[in-house]
Structure 1
Amino acid sequence: MDAGGIAWQAQWIWGGEEDRPRNEWRCFRRSFELPDQGVQEARISITADSRYVLYVNGILSGRGPVRSWPSEQSYNVHEVGHLLRQGTNTIAVLVISYGLSTFQYLLGKGGLLAQLEAETNAGASFVLGTDESWRTASHKGYDRRSPRMSCQLGFSESVDAGLWDDGWTGGESDLPEWENARTVGRPGDEPWPSLKPSAIPPLTEETVWPVRAESLKRVEAVSWTTALDIRNAMDPDSIRHANRVSFVGYAAVIVRLSEDAEATVGFLSGFDALRGIAVNGTYYSANDMEGERPERYQRLRLRRGDNLLALDLAGTDHGTGLHFGIDSEAPFELVSPLGGESGSEAPFALIGPFAARVPIDHEESDSPLADYEGFGGDKPLDEQAFEHFGIYGSFRAVSSPSELAAYEKWIKPFPAELTARESVFAKSVWRRTEESLPIPMDVQAVCMANRTPAVLPLFEGADTELILDFGKEWSGYLRFEADAPAGTVLDFYGFEYMRDGWRQDTYILDNTLRYVCKEGRQSYESPVRRGLRYLMVTVRNASRPVRLFGVQIAQSNYPVAEIGRFHSSDPLLNDIWEISKHTTRLCMEDTFVDCPAYEQAFWVGDSRNEALVNYYVFGATDIVRRCLELVPGSAWQTPLYADQVPSGWSSVIPNWTFFWAIACREFAEHAGDRSFAKRMWPKIRFTLEHYLRKIDDRGLFFIRGWNLLDWAPIDQPRNGVVTHQNAILARTLRDAAKLAELAGAAEEGAVFAKAADSLVEAINEHLWSDERQAYLDCIHADGRRSDVFSIQTQVVAYLNGVAEGERKDRIAGYLIEPPASFVQIGSPFMAFFYYEALASLGRYDIMLDDMRANYGQMIEYEATACWEMYPNFKENRPNPKMLTRSHCHAWSAAPGYFLGAVVLGVRRASDGWKSVKVAPQPGDLKWARGAVPLPDGGRIDVSWRIVEREGGRVFDLEVRAPKGVEVELIAPDGCSADMRLLETR
């Protein structure tokens, strides 16, 4: 029996010959008879490696599992009694096996575990578990060679509806492909030694329709595209982790033409390790190619016969596929340099790797290449870089396939499974020609939920492209219904932003789906989560007009009620609060995630601020508890705890671990949960003891790692003493001592309080500049004191109790009027801490003005969610139209917290919100009203207004609170007030 009380009779099952198949979509089904008495109640407990979609009698009944460490594999329980019937029933499960580690999943092995438990109306029990009686088959409709979506995610999908019976989830479907499943383990067996029930409820699914057709085009596709998984080809063992990998080598192919011709090779990818290409011995550097980065194009003159194209690949990569193509008016074939049939679907050869394949992470690598360009340094590659540099360099000059014999030792086939049959992303972004057309009103019908089809125009010799606007950013599962002839290709590509015809393409995210139609009317729902606002739909190969009956997103997020409210006399602040709320909701999945499109990863440090926003907008606590409890599971990777979990990337940002510990204390006090404090205290103590081992002889925290706080150009080297990190560690040690008190371990916590005092003393001794009267950013590993001074460093020194006396007053002045010579705040994430400092200073006016300026900029550009970075930040270059990378990033949703905590003035006064202070700070507002959720249910409603009465202006405040909550009302300084506390009706 596991932690959830399940007495497992089921076994782990799988099928086929591969234990860890890459990108396999495997079907399982079991039909059974139910007794005549009927079912009173029934549930299915289920988990899978990697992900599953559950159907009962053809009805989609659940998805999962929630992300978890394999050592504590999570399972879901789905209520299915209402779907069962007397007689024959069928349980069907689609399981997606990634076959590699991502930022949400660690490689285990293919497996399904499911158990149906039912009680009949007659009081009898019925149990059915997975075993060898279940039937299974690899879903032939899904192309296993579809590319990775990104290094953080699994795979995009390409499905041919004509290759599989879509009725397999309901009625009988026992084609020759089906076989009996094989047992691969019992509950408790490795790699899943422990099973735990999901700690959160099922996620929502809400149908969202597009609001308008944004554009319609006639487009002509380029000749050929593909995507190569270079990282996995260079290092096959890299499937076991998600760390960066370094490599040096080539991928080569022969381009065969029947005549001399002009051609263009185009690269449409954020893949950074492409150095250039060699064509028949002529080398073209990637830096000299045409195009607006990251797009790169090289025009070529190809000769009749065989042309050797070699891609020069030297650098590091996380798992971003290399998407590229070749376009020519003349027909051509691709042939393997190793011989074989022309027109092969996997014609590439891999040459190398010529240098050791070394995982790279943010604690730095000892790779001999670490000092070179593309590997973390700035030295050009030379003879000293690696042993086989000469062979690597000479390959560029190979001018014909006949010369390849000299490299026989180094050449092997590029694996077919790592070679996409086509890059839908590249084909969506790069077109030979395009022509914009007016959008007929009947095409707008695709946005209307009245089942009237949109008839898409058909063009001779070209494709039809339609872009749909869903009005806001959304995150979930794509659905559509169409009537089309067999063989029609529907390519879908989701992205976040476009303006005045310019589209921000997602070069590090293959956010695409290819669907090859069967004949007639058909529907499809993707099992792959996507984030997007805009959806490009391209119709290819249609022999008659395609009718679209609808395209929707099944919006999916952690189930929350929008309890929090904010409305004021400033419409701009109201809009800012709304986008903060929407952003936070979209970034609440089975954990908090950084963004719904690019990563969908649980970044530990981000979630501290996201939790605070959630407390004030939604009031959810289970998701926060779950997130905090996941983090120590990374101890097997590092005692310092990883910065995103559960993940195959063994990466540490010390500040992210510190924010996690702070968030644990905040949650225990917010929820009034001392049992949580007791559970977490040993885990916090464990990691902080390891961090304290990195205190140097000066008493300062010195570490070689990813010493991040803000994306701005502050001096935060990968090796040395970083001031902001030391200040945040001091705060963390003090918060740990407070948590220890809650856990009943005050004596143990006192050790950390003492360590905090010593650290603060060392910071003030070594990291203060008398000349600049400010805290410097860092001391480098060689002892050099930084000459960089930043607002970020001053913020954390003030906020975390490092600055005292005159220094504190001096720093406060910098926060009120930031010196132009200091590095300025670079991201909305850092603004959260800036606002905390301003609130403690009582400078609410500056906070509101900053929101209006920076978040107002987002509203000006019609943002529906908060951006990851401020516009035109250095990470966005070289394209000035690119305002930010992610257009929905919850680390940026600070106004959702501060407008409730400051303008409405609602603050917790005791653990569990048993007592509350309401002290509104109006700033320049005339009125505001809203609500703040309470953790145990209920809310605090606040309404205030500045009114003119006889004798002057009066602050009129009305507060409603549940019975039993003690509320203290505090008027703004200098105001006469009329304040009323009422009980919630």
Structure 2
Amino acid sequence: MGWHCLLPSFLPQIMISMLTGRMSCNRKCPILLRISHARDYTKEISAMNWQAKWIWHPGEDAPRNFFWAVRKAFTLPQRFSNAVLHITADSRYSVWVNGKYLGHGPVRAFPHRWRYDTYDITPYVCVGENVVAVLVHHFGHSTFQYLQARGGLLAQVECDGKVVAATDETWKGIEHPAYERRMPRMACQQAWAEMFDARKDLLHWTLAGYDDRAWQNAAVVGEVGCAPWREVLPRDIPFLTQEPVQPSRILRIQTVRPPKQVWTFDLKPNFLPGDLTANPRGFVGVVATVLHCSQPMTVRLRSVFNGFRVVRIDGREYTPQQAAEGMSITEGDHLLVADVSASFYHEWFFGVVFDYEQGELTVRSPLGDAGAYPFVSIGAFASPEDAGFQSAWRATSPQQIAAHPAAQPIQWAHTAAANVFAETVFAVPMAAPLQVEHPYSLVSANPDDTVIYPPANGDVELLIDFGRELVGFFEMELCAPEGTVIDLNAFEYMEDGRIQWTYGLHNTFRYIAREGWQIWRSVVRRGFRYATLTIRFPQGATEAVRLRGLRCYLNTYPYAYQAQFQCSDALLNDIWEISRHTVRLCSEDTFVDCPSYEQTFWVGDARNESLFSYTAFGDARLARRCLLLAGESLWRSPLVESQVPSGWEDILTAWSLLWTIACEEYYRYTGDRAFLEEVYPAVRQQNQNIHERFINGQGLLEIEAWNMLDWAPMDTPRTGVVTHQNMWLVEAWRRSAKMARILGNDAEADLYLRWAEELKAAINAHLWDAEKQAYIDCIHADGRRSATISQQTQTVAYLCDIVPEDKRALFEKYLTDVPEGWVRVGSPFMMAFTIEALEKAGDIGRILQLIRRWWGMMVHAGATSCWETFPGFLGQEWLTRSHCHAWSAAPAFALPSYVLGVRPLEPGFARFEVRPYLGDLEWAKGVVPTPHGEVKIALFREGEEIRVQVTVPRGTVAVIAGKEYGEGQHEVRM
């Protein structure tokens, strides 16, 4: 059963407003409050009549980190009522109409089922000449969000139903000269670090009247439906938010100097030429360069992210720690050889940092080529024992490297023009005096500018706090001398003045200013709370930089804040808020694991995120999109892939099975039968693939895949029989049976239930340890039984009803009381399953204890969002890696579901129960959104009783203490 609109009829113009994002989704907007969780509103728009063709720059099909500025003028008649723009691009676009920025897209998708966006441009166009201007960013390489295809743009402007502009060979384009293509990857999961030189900007190119006659005509790629974009489908979720957020504090201003030299280059084109996937690869190889010291020097050598294992200078070995502390090098030439071999590389950029206090250091190519990049690669080799590797590694002269048959130059196109991360992280503080006026204006909406004068020596670094975790696009407004460099490095956490830099992520940009006032908006999404802003004045500068604004446009799924939770415990209220904020920040065009490091749609994470979003916001459209998108990965893999749509072809078995479970849960919370009909063929396909290909002779699931469940030392090898995922499969088949039964496929439902019972019996026959009264973690591929017993495996056994009835009490004890020597729960993600199991056992009090302990710790540490891991997983230096991870936001589900006690009994809350728990709380209240409207509930402790006040929406029935209550307000004592 879908939701309905409050209006008696659904006006077409309101539908267009929803699609275009011009109607904000907030608690004051009654129109959006009861629109269907499940409804695919794009189906209400008639089938698209494309007259546009796919076009591209008349050059390389898939250039690396390429920015294409393209525009088209069009004329509108004297009288018109409506104008819309349909647009998509590969890989991403930013679009303007008559200089008005509209948005960024498209949503992530597999190339063969690409998506387009529709904007209502009526407010931004006029009678006569208009222009649409598009900046297309083609990645030229796969990420965890994108499969490499080829560059392309498809756009069509319609006025009152008539096409007035459509992409073809008449559109004018040019490679945007201000964007630097030679940059490092942000991370293996994301695309490229950003550098913009405003001195080369195409000023006013997004406005009508701009002279583009010197630009090239576009080349036509093909009609709609051509490869690789076989289908082009409408966007299936609303546009994301664009909320400006200012900084809250400036924590520090100081002068710094960058390290003396930073060299950054991509090893993949040399070691694995032609591979544009994101699949991990191992390799064995070295890089080499010739150092020339002007005098005896102490040189500190560091690597950035993908580092060296050992480095040699003239045959003498240094560990990374020794090299970072300083190497004494004599005057003259020296051969540096670094072993960069690795067994598991997703992303291959290698950064080298040289720093020193005195003297001059230069580097040059051992191949002797004038003008060549100073580093060369040697390899790749089969193993470190390979004679070719040994001869390169033990070389002591440039001539030996030059004579090596596997030596290759690093091409300049595969190097980075800047490494802002290294230049800021390894910056050295200086004692130079500073002159800064009005620093408060950067964090206040007032007419003053923050004025920063050039210091006598060094650069000026501002340490800025935005007050809470954010994700979005930076924008700056400033006046600066020409050539001033502005470097930003964003991060999530600092403690006692120490910064936890985002190692593994270039969360940075570089902006080079033109003369005068300018506004610039980044086209790269970043997650962060803090940032350093380093201002590097040009040599001899005397004019100040005036900063009028630095802001982030918060860019998330446009949830309405319908759901509410409050209680007599202020700590639980704070935990609810950080959990809900975490869910929001991890809701982009899909659910993502985190807004900073990866921004990746991990399918198993999304099972939990979906549940959390239902109760934290009451909007299931993003969950619907994610579940269907994940199912599409079966076009190339036998099980739903771990993260989609991705250049890494990977199966994480538990994630595939949690996807099936999430599909059933989505139907339970929304009643969206149309979704069930759409997703069920994928559920069936995965079930058949598993049963036909991966059930072994013992009747157990055995698959070579990534078989983890938790960030903990469980015994879950890549091959063999892994216990927890056999248990998940039992539950996945049961949930499949429920879906099949709803759709009238009784024979398939019975089959899945038979498979589930057979697998349950096999688990108890082969994976039970009678001596330890627990299930072992696995059976290894060679037949060895695991010696590891984990709390995680026992928790899944209890959740999935694998445990025989006479063992249930024992396993309920295991949920919180862990015997000595067992592996314990290691992350908030796994703790969410512990919480579910405790609810099943009826122990809500223990749930509140866990929430107060583990999530209360986050609140007490000043967190504004939930951490990826518990302290200790990364050692003692830092609390966690990611400080915003929605797989950890379990309280957003547990508090309304278990304290307020509102849970569906029938799909879409047609019948729901109210089974509250106050425990030591005096009162609790809140709002739980449903497809039929809001369930408002208030609980009050009165002696031995709980007074329950509840509002039941129309068309639903509440069950309280075994009694049914229809629409309206009710008060019940329990």
1:379-399 superposed Cα distances (whole Å, 9 cap, x missing partner): xx4x3xxxxx12211222322
Q: Residue in 2 aligned with 1:981?
A: 970
CA distance in 1, matches of 2:880, 2:637: 32
Residue 285 of structure 1: how far off its partner (Å):
3.2
Q: Secondary structure at the match of 1:353?
A: strand
CA distance in 2, matches of 1:928, 1:820: 38
CA distance in 2, matches of 1:402, 1:822: 57
Q: Residue in 2 aligned with 1:976?
A: none
Aligned 8 A contact 1:231 1:318 in 2:
no
Q: Residue in 1 aligned with 2:294?
A: 258
Of the three residues 309, 313, 316, the one matched with 1:279 is: 313
Aligned 8 A contact 1:484 1:545 in 2:
yes
Aligned 8 A contact 1:722 1:779 in 2:
yes
Residue 541 of structure 1: how far off its partner (Å):
2.3
Residue 457 of structure 1: how far off its partner (Å):
4.4
Of the three residues 395, 400, 404, the one matched with 2:401 is: 404
Of the three residues 8, 12, 20, the one matched with 2:62 is: 20
Aligned 8 A contact 1:561 1:618 in 2:
yes
Q: Residue in 2 aligned with 1:52?
A: 93
Aligned 8 A contact 1:233 1:418 in 2:
no
Q: Residue in 2 aligned with 1:352?
A: 379
Question: Do the aligned partners of residues 268 and 744 (structure 1) sit closer, same or farther apart at CA in structure 2, a change above 3 Å counting?
Answer: same
CA distance in 2, matches of 1:742, 1:677: 9
Question: Do the aligned partners of residues 434 and 636 (structure 1) sit closer, same or farther apart at CA in structure 2, a change above 3 Å counting?
Answer: farther
Where do 1:234-273 residues align within 5 Å? 234-239=271-276, 241-269=277-305, 271=306
CA distance in 2, matches of 1:457, 1:683: 61
CA distance in 1, matches of 2:564, 2:248: 25
CA distance in 2, matches of 1:444, 1:352: 54
Which one is further off, 718-727 or 168-177? 168-177
Q: Residue in 1 aligned with 2:911?
A: 915
Aligned 8 A contact 2:667 2:673 in 1:
yes
Identity of aligned residues (%): 40
Aligned 8 A contact 1:677 1:740 in 2:
no
Q: Secondary structure at the match of 1:166?
A: coil
Which one is further off, 793-802 or 416-425? 416-425
Residue 943 of structure 1: how far off its partner (Å):
0.5
Question: Do the aligned partners of residues 486 and 230 (structure 1) sit closer, same or farther apart at CA in structure 2, a change above 3 Å counting?
Answer: same
Where do 1:815-834 residues align within 5 Å? 815-834=815-834
Q: Does 1:341 align with 2:370?
A: yes
Residue 601 of structure 1: how far off its partner (Å):
0.6
Which one is further off, 414-423 or 751-760? 414-423
CA distance in 1, matches of 2:266, 2:871: 32
Aligned 8 A contact 1:165 1:173 in 2:
no
CA distance in 2, matches of 1:896, 1:33: 50
Letter in 1 for 2:190: L
Q: Does 1:102 align with 2:138?
A: no
CA distance in 1, matches of 2:630, 2:74: 41
Aligned 8 A contact 2:923 2:939 in 1:
yes
CA distance in 2, matches of 1:48, 1:812: 53
Where do 1:526-541 residues align within 5 Å? 526-541=522-537
Question: Do the aligned partners of residues 323 and 176 (structure 1) sit closer, same or farther apart at CA in structure 2, a change above 3 Å counting?
Answer: farther
Residue 805 of structure 1: how far off its partner (Å):
1.7
Where does the alignment leave 5 or more consecutive residues of structure 2 unmatched? 1-41
Aligned 8 A contact 1:919 1:971 in 2:
no
Q: Secondary structure at the match of 2:580?
A: helix
| Equivalent residue pairs, number | 920
Letter in 2 for 1:317: Y
Q: Residue in 1 aligned with 2:471?
A: 475
Letter in 1 for 2:811: I
Letter in 1 for 2:349: G
Letter in 1 for 2:314: N
Where do 1:164-563 residues align within 5 Å? 164-174=201-211, 178-239=215-276, 241-269=277-305, 271=306, 274-286=308-320, 289-290=321-322, 297=324, 299-315=326-342, 316-328=344-356, 329-341=358-370, 346-355=373-382, 381=384, 383=385, 389-407=386-404, 409-434=405-430, 442-542=438-538, 543=541, 544-563=543-562
Q: Does 1:86 align with 2:77?
A: no
Question: Do the aligned partners of residues 820 and 749 (structure 1) sit closer, same or farther apart at CA in structure 2, a change above 3 Å counting?
Answer: same
Residue 770 of structure 1: how far off its partner (Å):
1.2
Q: Secondary structure at the match of 2:81?
A: strand
CA distance in 2, matches of 1:619, 1:233: 50
Q: Secondary structure at the match of 1:148?
A: coil
Question: Do the aligned partners of residues 4 and 595 (structure 1) sit closer, same or farther apart at CA in structure 2, a change above 3 Å counting?
Answer: farther
Q: Secondary structure at the match of 1:70?
A: coil
Question: Do the aligned partners of residues 6 and 213 (structure 1) sit closer, same or farther apart at CA in structure 2, a change above 3 Å counting?
Answer: same
TM-score by length of 1: 0.91
Letter in 1 for 2:155: A
Aligned 8 A contact 1:4 1:197 in 2:
no
Aligned 8 A contact 1:257 1:305 in 2:
yes
Where do 1:843-882 residues align within 5 Å? 843-873=843-873, 876-877=874-875, 880-882=876-878
Residue 881 of structure 1: how far off its partner (Å):
2.7
Where do 1:450-849 residues align within 5 Å? 450-542=446-538, 543=541, 544-692=543-691, 693-849=693-849
Q: Secondary structure at the match of 1:219?
A: strand
Letter in 2 for 1:24: F
Question: Do the aligned partners of residues 463 and 440 (structure 1) sit closer, same or farther apart at CA in structure 2, a change above 3 Å counting?
Answer: closer
CA distance in 1, matches of 2:444, 2:251: 14
Letter in 1 for 2:298: E
Letter in 1 for 2:252: S
Question: Do the aligned partners of residues 303 and 186 (structure 1) sit closer, same or farther apart at CA in structure 2, a change above 3 Å counting?
Answer: farther
CA distance in 1, matches of 2:869, 2:269: 31
Which one is further off, 814-823 or 137-146? 814-823
Q: Secondary structure at the match of 2:142?
A: coil
Q: Residue in 2 aligned with 1:362?
A: none
Question: Do the aligned partners of residues 436 and 530 (structure 1) sit closer, same or farther apart at CA in structure 2, a change above 3 Å counting?
Answer: farther
CA distance in 2, matches of 1:617, 1:933: 9
Letter in 1 for 2:236: A
Question: Do the aligned partners of residues 753 and 94 (structure 1) sit closer, same or farther apart at CA in structure 2, a change above 3 Å counting?
Answer: same
Aligned 8 A contact 1:640 1:687 in 2:
yes
Aligned 8 A contact 2:668 2:907 in 1:
yes
Aligned 8 A contact 1:955 1:971 in 2:
no
Aligned 8 A contact 1:798 1:808 in 2:
yes
Of the three residues 946, 950, 959, the one matched with 1:968 is: 959
Which one is further off, 896-905 or 215-224? 215-224
Q: Residue in 1 aligned with 2:38?
A: none
CA distance in 2, matches of 1:435, 1:498: 22
Q: Does 1:30 align with 2:76?
A: no
CA distance in 2, matches of 1:677, 1:432: 58
CA distance in 2, matches of 1:982, 1:108: 60
1:430-466 superposed Cα distances (whole Å, 9 cap, x missing partner): 0234459999782122111224211224321201110
CA distance in 2, matches of 1:4, 1:724: 46
1:81-105 superposed Cα distances (whole Å, 9 cap, x missing partner): 1100112111100000100111010
CA distance in 1, matches of 2:592, 2:747: 36
Question: Do the aligned partners of residues 435 and 791 (structure 1) sit closer, same or farther apart at CA in structure 2, a change above 3 Å counting?
Answer: farther
CA distance in 1, matches of 2:247, 2:100: 25
Letter in 2 for 1:824: R
Q: Does 1:6 align with 2:6?
A: no
Q: Secondary structure at the match of 2:381?
A: coil
Letter in 1 for 2:910: K
Aligned 8 A contact 2:98 2:208 in 1:
yes
Aligned 8 A contact 1:215 1:436 in 2:
no
Aligned 8 A contact 1:215 1:437 in 2:
no
Q: Residue in 2 aligned with 1:941?
A: 936
Letter in 1 for 2:116: Y
CA distance in 2, matches of 1:257, 1:53: 47
Aligned 8 A contact 2:74 2:164 in 1:
no
